Amino acid sequence: MPLTAYDLSSRTALITGAASGIGRATAVLLAQAGATVHCADLDDKGLRETLELIGGTPGGGESHVLDVTDGAAVEAVVAAVTADGRSLDIAAAIAGVLHIAPALDTTDEDLNRVLAVNVTGVLHTCRAAARAMIAAGTPGSLVTMASGAVDAGYPGGLAYSMSKAAVVQLTRTLATELGPHGIRVNSVAPGWIRTPMTERHDAGLNRTVEESMAARSPLGRVGRPEDVAHAVLHLASDASAFTTGQIIRPNGGVSMPW
């Protein structure tokens, strides 16, 4: 029997952060599942590479150069996606930045930059998408990207963990307010995933962070972008029709009590 609940044919998705890592893997997977995927990111070159990977999938896609910190620009992309009465069914707010510094050395400027992308940028994306869904009277799924950083204290993680904790509460609040409109809102909190973001962070540390993260997992490895993309597919699709306000954790088991 075909797994029709995971079939995204005739759905339209907007994915931020789609030029790299988890966002790119998600864009490709959702297009393989049949969605028309609108890929948004600051990085034009990376977007073109993602579009090449999407070429030939059932859903196909388009790219939009976008800074998610610019609320008007996000609204304009959603307006373009929904022009001519097309519906927007899925939005995955994946764009994010990592900042590692001791708490006492974290400047207001550092903190505000991380919050602008990781929190305000996620709100801009969810808000614009939800407004379009409500205006069209169609149901939808919003997926945000938190992090395992919300489950523990990490030295150096002040700005990043604060931002991801805010994403969790943003997700829960939106889930309560948007549920009556048929819009589900969930978050994914991945563990350590090997992407350009974590490669950049670990490069100067001889992969010691990756090794220690792999050692903490009962599965003995860190994650791949596809591990997270499949969690987003689940939340984006009808397979999770009764799931809202939840945080799911593709993290290799690092955060369970044992």
> Which positions are annotated as active-site residues?
160
The answer to whether 69 contacts ligand NAI (rule: CB under 6 A) is yes
Identified binder of ligand NAI from the candidate list 63, 120, 195, 237, rule CB under 6 A: 195
- Backbone φ/ψ region at 182: left (φ over 0), alpha (ψ -120 to 50), beta: left
Identified binder of ligand NAI from the candidate list 57, 198, 240, 244, rule CB under 6 A: 198
Of the pair 66, 88, the CB lying nearest ligand NAI is at 66
Return phi, psi of residue 153, to 5°: -90, 135
Q: Alpha-carbon distance 121 to 113, whole Å?
A: 11
Segment 73 to 102, residues that bind ligand NAI, using CB under 6 A? 94-97
Q: Alpha-carbon distance 104 to 86, whole Å?
A: 48
**Smallest separation, CB 39 to ligand NAI (Å):** 10
Of the pair 34, 190, the CB lying nearest ligand NAI is at 190
**Smallest separation, CB 29 to ligand NAI (Å):** 13
Of the pair 12, 69, the CB lying nearest ligand NAI is at 69
Identified binder of ligand NAI from the candidate list 92, 129, 145, 254, rule CB under 6 A: 145
Q: Alpha-carbon distance 131 to 136, whole Å?
A: 9
**Using the 8-state DSSP alphabet, how is residue 72 labeled?**
H
- Backbone φ/ψ region at 146: left (φ over 0), alpha (ψ -120 to 50), beta: beta
**Smallest separation, CB 15 to ligand NAI (Å):** 10
Could you tell me which stretch among 26-34, 82-90, 179-187, 189-197 binds ligand NAI (CB under 6 A)? 189-197
Identified binder of ligand NAI from the candidate list 71, 139, 196, 245, rule CB under 6 A: 196
Residues 6 or more apart whose Cβ sits within 8 Å of residue 5? 237, 238, 239, 241
Six token digits for residue 103: 């708490």
The answer to whether 157 contacts ligand NAI (rule: CB under 6 A) is no
The answer to whether 117 contacts ligand NAI (rule: CB under 6 A) is yes
Count of C-beta atoms within a 10 Å radius of residue 135: 11
The answer to whether 190 contacts ligand NAI (rule: CB under 6 A) is yes
Closest CA to 250 of 96, 31, 18, 25: 25
The contact pattern for ligand NAI, residues 11-30, with x = CB under 6 A and - = no contact, is -----xx-xxxxx-------
**Smallest separation, CB 76 to ligand NAI (Å):** 14
- Backbone φ/ψ region at 64: left (φ over 0), alpha (ψ -120 to 50), beta: beta
- List beta partners, residue 92: 15, 143
Residues that bind ligand NAI (CB under 6 A): 16-17, 19-23, 41-43, 46, 66-69, 94-97, 117, 121, 145, 147, 190, 192-193, 195-198
